[in-house]
């Protein structure tokens, strides 16, 4: 992946301390909602507000530096693209999130493509269910 600072400059965006803090927060937190990013950033710079976080997350996603997925019925959850391409498994009971390499879904993707002439965006996919630990507790 290209250096995110270079990507910002090439697309005509200034390299601001707020952008650097917000991208750093997404990378540090792994998977985070805008409110979680805001709380993390405000620990370092209390002058950053919610609208700055939301606008910056949108810009960073448009530039391909971060992605979002819907891991709950609430706000989207953002994660860095520096990690491997993955989709998510979310346990409905304990809320544990597991990142799964997209290669494990190759038969599913091939089936969708062959049967429906459709290529899914696997990085946006979230599968909800129950993890084995929660199932065993029942």
At residue 122, the 3 state secondary structure works out as helix
Q: Which of residues 75 and 117 earns the better pLDDT score?
A: 117
- The answer to whether the CB of 60 falls within 8 A of the CB of 66 is yes
* pLDDT (tens digit per residue) in 94-104: 989 898 999 99
Q: Which fold has domain 4-80?
A: Arc Repressor Mutant, subunit A (1.10.10)
Predicted local distance difference test score (pLDDT) of residue 83: 65
**Region(s) of the chain under CATH 1.10.10.10:** 4-80
pTM of the model: 0.76
To the nearest whole percent, how much of the chain has pLDDT over 90? 43
Closest to 64 in 3D by CA, of 8, 127, 133 = 8
Predicted local distance difference test score (pLDDT) of residue 1: 44
Predicted local distance difference test score (pLDDT) of residue 69: 85
**Region(s) of the chain under CATH 3.30.1490.190:** 86-137
Average pLDDT, stretch 15-26?
Answer: 89
Supply the mean pLDDT for the chain.
88
Q: How far apart are CA 54 and CA 18, in angstroms?
A: 12
Which CATH code fits 86-137?
3.30.1490.190
Predicted local distance difference test score (pLDDT) of residue 110: 94
Distance of CA 58 to the CA centre of its chain: 12
The yes-or-no verdict on residue 71 having pLDDT over 90 is no
Per DSSP, 99 falls in state E
Predicted local distance difference test score (pLDDT) of residue 2: 52
């Amino acid at each position: 992946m290209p250096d995110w600072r270079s990507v910002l400059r090439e697309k005509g965006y200034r390299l601001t301390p707020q952008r650097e803090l917000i991208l750093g927060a997404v990378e540090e937190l792994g998977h985070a909602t805008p409110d979680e990013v805001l709380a993390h950033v405000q620990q370092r710079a209390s002058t950053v507000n919610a609208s700055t976080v939301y606008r910056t997350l949108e810009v960073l996603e448009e530039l391909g530096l971060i992605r979002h997925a819907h891991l709950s019925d609430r706000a989207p959850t953002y994660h860095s693209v520096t990690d491997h391409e993955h989709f998510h498994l979310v346990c409905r009971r304990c809320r544990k999130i597991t990142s799964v390499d997209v290669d494990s879904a190759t038969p599913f993707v091939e089936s969708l493509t062959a049967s429906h002439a459709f290529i899914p965006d696997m990085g946006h996919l979230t599968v909800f269910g129950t993890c084995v630990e929660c199932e065993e507790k029942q």
